Structure 1
Amino acid sequence: MLSILAITAPIFILIAIGFVSSRAALVSRDQVAGMGRFVITLALPALVIRALLERPLHEVIHWNYLIGYGLGSLLIFGLGYAFARLVRKDNLSGSALAGLGMSVSNSGFVGYPIVVLVVGGPAAVALALGMMIENALLIPLALTLAELGQQNGGNVGTALLGTLRNLVRHPVLIAIVLALLMATLDVRPPTFVMRAIDMLAQASAPVALFVIGASLNGLKPGGMALDVGQLLIGKLILHPLLVWLCFSLLPISDPALRTAGVLMAAAPMMSIYPILGARYGLEQRCAAGLVAATVMSFLSISAFVWLMA
C-alpha cells in the first residue's frame, strides 16, 4: 500500500500545483492551453518514439499477450463507446473519448512503476507491448471516430475525407508511424537526437499533470456523475477483468507477464487524456474523470495485486 501511495502521491502533488497556480492567477487559461499544445505536439510524440525504440521489436513480441491485451482493450473500448452513444445519448466525439478513457492506461507513469514492484523485469516488456496496442490501435481508432464527429454536414465520404486530412497531420499518429517504421527497419536516430527526444519525453508527464490541475480550476462537476461513473467502472474494473479473461482464453506462458498485463489494465487512463479531449471541448469532463480514476486506482490496483498473488 505504501509503495503504491509513494508512486501516486507525486501525481496528485503536480495536479495540485497546477490547480493552485491557476487559482492564484499565476498562469492564464491561454498559457495553460499553450502548455497543453506543447505536450500533444512535442512531448507526447517524443514519449511514443522513445517507448517504441527502446527495445528491438523481436525482443518484445509475445503474440498471445498482444492479441489478449488488444482484444480485452478493444472490447472495453466498444462497450464504453456503445454505452455512451446508446444509453447516455452522447455525441460521436464524446462517445469515442469515453471509450478511449476506459481502454488506454497511464502505463508509463502509474502502471509501470507499480508493476515493476510486483513482477520485476517483465514489467518493461508489458509496457512496450501495451504501448504498441494503445498507440497503433486504440488511440488511432478513438481519434478517427472523434474527428469524424467534428465534421459537420455533408455526406459520409466528405466527412471521412476531412477526418483523414486531420489525422495525417496529428502529431501523435505521425510519431507512431515514424517510430514503428524505424523499429521495423531497426534504424535508430543519432545519440544526440535521442537525448533531445528523451528530454522532451520526460517533460510530458509533469507538464500534462500541471495542465490537468489547472484545467480543474473553475470545474463545475454538475451533470458529470454519469460520465465519471462510466469511466471509473470501465477503466478500473471492467478493463482489467476483460484482459484477465482474454489471457485465460489465450494462455500466457509467463505468469509474471500475465500479472503485469492485468495490472497495467487496472491503471487509470493516460495523463494526457484531458489534453486529447480539449480538441473536442471535453477537457473538463476528461480531467474530472482522470482525477477520480487516479484517486480510486489506489484501491483498485491494490485489489488486483491481491487477486493476482
Structure 2
Amino acid sequence: MLQILSITTPIFILIGLGFLSARGGLISREQVRGMGAVVINFALPALVLKAVSENPIGEVFNWQYLTAYGLGSLTVFCLGLLASRTLRREPLDSSAIAALGMANSNSGFVGYPIVAMTLGATAAIGLALNMVVENLLIIPLALALAEAGRQEGSALSVARETLKRLARSPLIIAMAIGLPLALLELRLPAVPARVVEMLATASAPLALFVIGGSLYGLRLSGMQGEIGMIAFGKLILHPLAVLLIFSLLPDVDPALMAAGVLFASAPMLSIYPILGQRFGVDGRCAAALLLTTVASFVTISTLLGFVAPSP
C-alpha cells in the first residue's frame, strides 16, 4: 500500500497545489490556460517526438497495443453512445460528447505521469500510441457524430475540418517529425535534442499543476445521473475493456499491457468542457471532469495494487 501511495500521492499533491494556487489567487484562470498551452504546444509534443524518434519503429507502432487500446476505447465509446441514446433519451450530439468522456483519457496530463512513475520509459511509448488512437479515431468520431446530430454541414465538410485541425496539432506534427527519424534510425543534433529533452522533462509536473488549476471553480450541481454514468464509463469500463482485449491477444508485452490499462484508467481529457461547449453541454462536461478527476484518486490507487511492479 505504501508503494502505491508513493506513486499516487505526489501526483495528486501536484494537482492539489494547482487547485489551491488558483483558489488562493496566486494564479489566474488566464495564467492556467497559458501554462496549459505550453504543455499542449511544446512540452507534450517534445515528449512524443523524443519517444518516437529514439525507439525502434516496431516498438513505436506495437500492433497489440494499438489493437487493444483502440478496440477497447471504441467499444466503450459505442456502449456510452448507446446508453445515452436509449437509457437517457439524449440527442445524438450530446450523446456523442458523453461517449467521448467515457472513451478518451487525459493521456498527457494525468496518464503519462502515473505510468511514468510506475513503469518508467514504457510510458512515453504508450503516450505516443495513445495519440494515434485518440487523435485519429476517438475524437474525430465523436465530433463527426456530434456535428451530424446538429445537422450542420455535410460529412465531407466535417471530415475536412477534422483533418485541418489534426494537421495543425503540435502532437501530430511531433509524430510526423519523429517517425521518419525512427525509420531512418537518425537522431536529432545535440542542441535540439537537449531542448527536446528539457521540454519533455517538464511535461509531467506542469501538466498536473494545470489540471489542478483548471478544476477550481467547477461545480457538481443537478447532474448527478448524467455525470455518474460518464464517470463510471471512464474510470471502470474503459480500463476493463482495454484489459479484456489485451488478454485475448498473443505475445503481449506485460509492461505495455499495464501501461494501456493505466492510461485507460485516467480521467477524460482536460479540454473536454471546451469540446462540449459547441454543443451546449459544457456545464455537464465540466462537472463530469471534476467528479472523475477526484474519484480517480481511489480507482487508480486500487488499480495500481494489481499492476504496479513489486519493489
Contact kept? 1:46, 1:175, Cα under 8 Å: yes
Shift of 1:131: 2.8
Contact kept? 2:4, 2:305, Cα under 8 Å: no
Q: Output one character per residue of 1:105-160: Cα deviation in whole Å (capped at 9) or x when no partner.
A: 8442112423x3xxxxxx644x3553343111223223324554469733332233
C-alpha distance 228-8 of structure 1, shift in aligned 2 (>3 A): farther
Residue in structure 1 matched with residue 246 of structure 2 by the alignment: 247
Letter in 1 for 2:11: I
Residue in structure 1 matched with residue 187 of structure 2 by the alignment: 188
Q: Output one character per residue of 1:221-265: Cα deviation in whole Å (capped at 9) or x when no partner.
A: 1144345433443333323322332233223366x4476356535
C-alpha distance 15-166 of structure 1, shift in aligned 2 (>3 A): same
Structure 2 CA distance for aligned equivalents of residues 51 and 227 of structure 1:
37
Structure 1 CA distance for aligned equivalents of residues 183 and 81 of structure 2:
32
1:98 is aligned to 2:101: yes
Structure 2 CA distance for aligned equivalents of residues 304 and 189 of structure 1:
38
1:163 is aligned to 2:165: no
1:77 is aligned to 2:77: yes
C-alpha distance 242-35 of structure 1, shift in aligned 2 (>3 A): same
Structure 1 CA distance for aligned equivalents of residues 182 and 72 of structure 2:
25
Q: Trace 1:1-309 onto structure 2 (pairs within 5 A).
A: 1-58=1-58, 62-84=62-84, 87-88=87-88, 89=90, 91=94, 94-95=97-98, 97-101=100-104, 106-114=110-118, 116=119, 124-125=121-122, 127=123, 129-145=125-141, 147-148=143-144, 149=146, 153-252=152-251, 256-257=254-255, 260-261=258-259, 263-265=261-263, 267-269=265-267, 273-275=269-271, 277-278=273-274, 280-281=276-277, 282=282, 284-285=286-287, 287-302=289-304, 304-305=306-307
C-alpha distance 159-235 of structure 1, shift in aligned 2 (>3 A): closer
Contact kept? 1:235, 1:269, Cα under 8 Å: yes
Structure 2 CA distance for aligned equivalents of residues 144 and 196 of structure 1:
31
- More displaced 10-residue stretch of structure 1: 42-51 or 274-283: 274-283
Secondary structure, counterpart of 2:104 in structure 1: helix
C-alpha distance 94-53 of structure 1, shift in aligned 2 (>3 A): same
Secondary structure, counterpart of 2:214 in structure 1: helix
Structure 1 CA distance for aligned equivalents of residues 252 and 100 of structure 2:
34
Contact kept? 2:49, 2:178, Cα under 8 Å: yes
- More displaced 10-residue stretch of structure 1: 153-162 or 197-206: 153-162
C-alpha distance 13-275 of structure 1, shift in aligned 2 (>3 A): same
Shift of 1:85: 5.5
Shift of 1:60: 6.1
Identical pairs, percent:
40
Instruction: Extract unaligned runs of 5+ from structure 2.
Output: none
Contact kept? 2:96, 2:143, Cα under 8 Å: yes
Structure 1 CA distance for aligned equivalents of residues 290 and 196 of structure 2:
30
Shift of 1:218: 1.7
Secondary structure, counterpart of 1:143 in structure 2: helix
Structure 2 CA distance for aligned equivalents of residues 249 and 32 of structure 1:
42
RMSD: 3.3
